[in-house]
Structure 1
Amino acid sequence: MIVAGEASGDMYGAMLAREIRRLDRDIAFIGMGGAGMRAAGVETLIDANDMAVVGLVEVVANFRVIANAFTSLKRVIKTTPPSLLILIDYPDFNLRLAAVAKACGVKVLYYISPQVWAWRAGRVKKIARIVDHMAVLFPFEVPYYEKERVPVTFVGHPLLDMVRPTMGRAEAVSFFGLDPHKKTIGLFPGSRRSEIKSLFPVILESAKLLQSRFTDVQFILPLASSLKHADIAPELEKSGLQVFVVQDRNYDVMQVCDAVVTVSGTVTMEIALIGVPMVIIYRVSPLTYAVGKRLIKVDHIGICNIVAGERVVKELIQHDAEPAKIAAEIGAILTDSEYAAAITRKLGTIEQKLGSGGCSRRLAELALKMMD
């Protein structure tokens, strides 16, 4: 059973399922995921698109859906226990499911560690009781688990095997119908409907400010696999902006961009690996933000900045995530070539800190070993 709760987890789960199947054709998969995992042969009992929310208030609003999903998976684990439960990220849900599996004698492999280095470090003690093996993406995570004697393996980051455009930049510009003489600004509003609701209008307002300031800009938006065009159409039409909307070619979209406005999340790492200057925005309910501010112990929210160990790209959080400040940062990137080049140069160091490719293969081998 593989359980992923949002678009990035679905993507990683799909890669893992394919690698396991390459090593052993006789393994069947069930779980929670999205289109990616279904395409990889996982029978998704729960659609992860219904589960992708961030923040206390947002979770409460979707509590019934999340609770029903948990109950369904719990029932399956108890009645037809899988040989192995692989949990991908999504910690508040998945750690509870791990406890259920442990009580039923099902081995648990947790992939993509909860951010214990950022907040609620005490969770490691709980993890030690309910998780059989932790597979982490970053080398700095290993000591947190070794300290509590949790079996842990640094498998590297799956993005190193994924972030590859399928065509050259000039070819992509032509393919998307872009004007090669204009600057291209990427609009990355996220993969969750809650992000579209809270941040997409802000992103569009910043784009309108940029269009009024620069006559030679154009906008492109990669639509996440977890979303439909109908999810963004109302705000897009209301804005009056011409935006090239693309699906299924994220890395080709990234490489044609001169600058990007993006929500926080895995996507910041993808953009960083392509080497495009960006501004990261983040906004949740006031209650979620107030609680998080007291608990979170890192200096950055963008994972690319966390890995780099410094504020490589600007982060505009909560009330700072407003159109004028977003447009000002993108404007600086477009007009100050030295500033943009410095960002790109620092982004280039991130890949070196992520280890080598082959993450999904190493994880698949670990999974099979645990089942044996």
Structure 2
Amino acid sequence: MLVGADNTSDRFGAALAQKLTEKRPEGVVFGIGGPLMADAGVRLLYDISEMVSLGVFDSLKGAHIVKRLIQRVSETMDEERPHVMVQIGLPLFSLRLLEIARCKGLSTMYYYTPLSRGLVEFKTERFAGLVDKVIGISKFETESCQQAGISAEFVGHPLVDLVRSRRPVEEVRAELNLKPGKPVIAVLPGAREVEVKNVLPTVLRAIGQLRKLKLDCQTVVSVAPTVRKSFVDQLVSKARGIDVVVGGDTGDVLDAADLAITSIGTVSLEAALMGVPCLAVYRVPTTTYLFDKLFANKPRMTVVNNVLEEQVVPEFIQSEFGLGRLVDEIVRLLTDEAARQEMLGKFAALPEQLGEPGSVDRAAEMILAAAAQREE
């Protein structure tokens, strides 16, 4: 059983499901996830796409939905009797599901824990008593778990397998209907509409200011699978004085980019791995932000900064997300070659933290080994 609750969990879960099926075609993989997991052959008990888009898992109003999901998962454990439950992400109701699975005799494993995203105040003592094994995707996460007495093994980050080599810039720009010879700013504003609504208009206004500074750029906005393109089109239609293309998957948009403006999540790490200078933005309603802070006291909010344990990518969070500073930082990272190279030099340290290719394969082997033990 695989259980994921956000866009990144869906992506990592899909890669994991494909490997599990390749290695054991007769096995059954089911659980909670999104369209990518469904496409990978996971029999979904619940599709979380709409809830992710609306930010249900990050707000108090989603508590009753979470309660129903937990009940559904518990009932399915009784009906299907899986050997292993693998949780992927799930910052909100992770420990409750682990408690239920442990009581029912399942092997409990965790892939992409809150610690992998820089959560430094986590109920590690309780967590250690509920999880059989953490499948570590970063060295920081693995070492943090081991120091807390949690059984953890480092396999490497799935993005090392999922991020492809960059394609020729002009080829990708032609496919995206971008003009040759003009700098391109890629905007990847988040996987939830509440994020996109609060971030994208300000980002587009900042880019619009560049022409006054004699910087003639073009912009491409990537739309996450959990966000309606019509919703993004409506926001973009209100922008004035800038060339904007909406569309293209994450990889293509980053291939085309001279600079990326990303959300604070995994996409910031993807940009860094692809060698694209970037800055990170995040603004949501105050209640959602405060709720997030209850669960995560993060010295740095952006995933790539947490992995590097250093403030490499400039962060624009909530009240610090101001138009003037944003414009200044965009200009700096477009025009100051020394600043760009300094950032890319810091990104070069990522492979040491994230491990070698083949991480998803190694994770699948760990899960199958745990399942085999339960079968005996």
TM-score, normalised with respect to structure 2: 0.91
Query: Which segment drifts farther, 234-243 or 99-108?
Result: 234-243
Residue number in structure 2 paired with 1:186: 186
* TM-superposition CA deviations, 1:301-325 (whole Å, max 9, x none): 1121222232212111211112222
1:57/1:285 contact within 8 Å kept: no
Residue number in structure 2 paired with 1:65: 65
Letter in 2 for 1:18: Q
Pair 19,57 (structure 1): closer, same or farther in 2 beyond 3 Å = closer
Query: Which segment drifts farther, 142-151 or 196-205?
Result: 142-151
Percent identity between matched residues is 28
* TM-superposition CA deviations, 1:186-217 (whole Å, max 9, x none): 11111112212222222222222234434520
Residue number in structure 2 paired with 1:19: 19
1:54/1:284 contact within 8 Å kept: no
Residue number in structure 2 paired with 1:118: 119
Letter in 2 for 1:244: V
Residue number in structure 2 paired with 1:245: 246
Query: How far 1:40 sits from its partner (Å)?
Result: 0.5
Letter in 2 for 1:194: V
Matches within 5 A, 1:140-289: 140-165=140-165, 167-240=167-240, 241-247=242-248, 249-287=249-287, 289=289
Letter in 2 for 1:20: L
Letter in 2 for 1:34: G
Letter in 1 for 2:121: R
Three-state SS of the structure 1 residue aligned to 2:109 is strand
Query: How far 1:165 sits from its partner (Å)?
Result: 4.3
2:202/2:323 contact within 8 Å kept: yes
Cα distance in 2 between the residues matched to 1:62 and 1:92: 10
- Runs (5+) with no aligned partner, structure 1: none
Pair 67,272 (structure 1): closer, same or farther in 2 beyond 3 Å = same
Query: Which segment drifts farther, 276-285 or 181-190?
Result: 276-285
Residue number in structure 2 paired with 1:2: 2
1:169/1:252 contact within 8 Å kept: no
* TM-superposition CA deviations, 1:14-40 (whole Å, max 9, x none): 100111111111111111111110110
Letter in 2 for 1:156: G
Cα distance in 1 between the residues matched to 2:73 and 2:362: 26
Pair 167,56 (structure 1): closer, same or farther in 2 beyond 3 Å = closer
Residue number in structure 2 paired with 1:304: 304
Q: How many residues align?
A: 370
2:210/2:216 contact within 8 Å kept: no
Letter in 2 for 1:159: L
Pair 67,341 (structure 1): closer, same or farther in 2 beyond 3 Å = same
Three-state SS of the structure 1 residue aligned to 2:93 is helix
Pair 255,5 (structure 1): closer, same or farther in 2 beyond 3 Å = same
Residue number in structure 1 paired with 2:324: 324
Matches within 5 A, 1:46-65: 46-52=46-52, 58-65=58-65
Query: How far 1:343 sits from its partner (Å)?
Result: 1.4
Query: How far 1:160 sits from its partner (Å)?
Result: 0.6
Pair 154,14 (structure 1): closer, same or farther in 2 beyond 3 Å = same
Letter in 1 for 2:327: A
Pair 119,254 (structure 1): closer, same or farther in 2 beyond 3 Å = same
Cα distance in 1 between the residues matched to 2:288 and 2:51: 17
Cα distance in 2 between the residues matched to 1:330 and 1:227: 25
Three-state SS of the structure 2 residue aligned to 1:115 is helix
Three-state SS of the structure 2 residue aligned to 1:223 is coil
Letter in 1 for 2:254: M
2:4/2:13 contact within 8 Å kept: yes
1:57/1:288 contact within 8 Å kept: no
* TM-superposition CA deviations, 1:158-206 (whole Å, max 9, x none): 1111111473222112211211211100111111122122222222222
TM-score, normalised with respect to structure 1: 0.92
Matches within 5 A, 1:131-142: 131-142=131-142
* TM-superposition CA deviations, 1:32-65 (whole Å, max 9, x none): 1111101100011211213327989952233333
Cα distance in 1 between the residues matched to 2:190 and 2:292: 20
* TM-superposition CA deviations, 1:229-274 (whole Å, max 9, x none): 1221221112245421223x31121122111111100001000001
Matches within 5 A, 1:342-361: 342-361=342-361
Residue number in structure 2 paired with 1:28: 28
Query: How far 1:149 sits from its partner (Å)?
Result: 3.5
Three-state SS of the structure 2 residue aligned to 1:31 is strand
Query: How far 1:77 sits from its partner (Å)?
Result: 1.6
For the aligned residues, what is the CA RMSD?
Answer: 2.3
Letter in 1 for 2:174: S
2:166/2:274 contact within 8 Å kept: no
- Runs (5+) with no aligned partner, structure 2: none
1:188/1:262 contact within 8 Å kept: yes
Pair 30,199 (structure 1): closer, same or farther in 2 beyond 3 Å = same
Matches within 5 A, 1:34-45: 34-45=34-45
Three-state SS of the structure 2 residue aligned to 1:91 is coil
Cα distance in 1 between the residues matched to 2:121 and 2:56: 15
